[in-house]
């Protein structure tokens, strides 16, 4: 065990506690981010589908957007399930679309709804569900889900 004087000025456990009732240095800081207008819907591509009804489920644990209050990232598992109409989404284009959220400041609920609305417009599926399961923040695990058409 190191002696108490190994760090100059060390006086015991109180050394690491805030003094004078001040907040941590990070309090009130934010990281710059961009607005939802930077979401790249134009990158989405589709290909024709003429097969029987089937449910297509695509998942990634790499979805992230930014908290519009702090600028800190919100990470989520994103699940997209749809029954195609006349077309399917091309997966590389979907990856670029999802990645375009990386620096966008948007509430979790709005991100989920926006993804559902954008995909519904691009695909015109018979049914579409977008679900996000966000990593725990502040003790809350948040799941958002949007199904279209309503």
Q: Catalytic residues, which ones?
A: 67, 74
Peptide bond into 36 cis (omega under 30): no
In this structure, how many other beta carbons lie within 10 angstroms of the beta carbon of residue 131?
A: 19
Q: Which parts of the chain are beta strand (E)?
A: 46-48, 56-66, 73-83, 87-89, 127-137, 140-148
Q: Alpha-carbon distance 80 to 91, whole Å? A: 11
């Amino acid at each position: 065990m190191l002696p108490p004087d190994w760090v100059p000025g060390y006086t015991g456990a109180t050394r690491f506690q805030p003094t004078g009732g001040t907040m941590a240095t990070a309090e009130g800081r934010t990281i710059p981010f961009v607005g939802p207008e930077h979401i790249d819907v134009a990158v989405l591509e589709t290909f024709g589908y003429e097969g029987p009804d089937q449910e297509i489920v695509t998942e990634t644990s790499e979805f992230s957007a930014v908290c519009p209050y702090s600028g800190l990232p919100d990470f989520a598992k994103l699940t997209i399930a749809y029954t195609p109409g006349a077309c399917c989404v091309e997966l590389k284009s979907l990856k670029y679309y999802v990645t375009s959220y990386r620096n966008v400041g948007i509430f979790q609920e709005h991100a989920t709804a926006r993804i559902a609305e954008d995909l519904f417009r691009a695909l015109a599926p018979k049914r579409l569900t977008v679900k996000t399961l966000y990593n725990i923040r502040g003790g809350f695990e948040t799941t958002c889900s949007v199904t279209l058409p309503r």
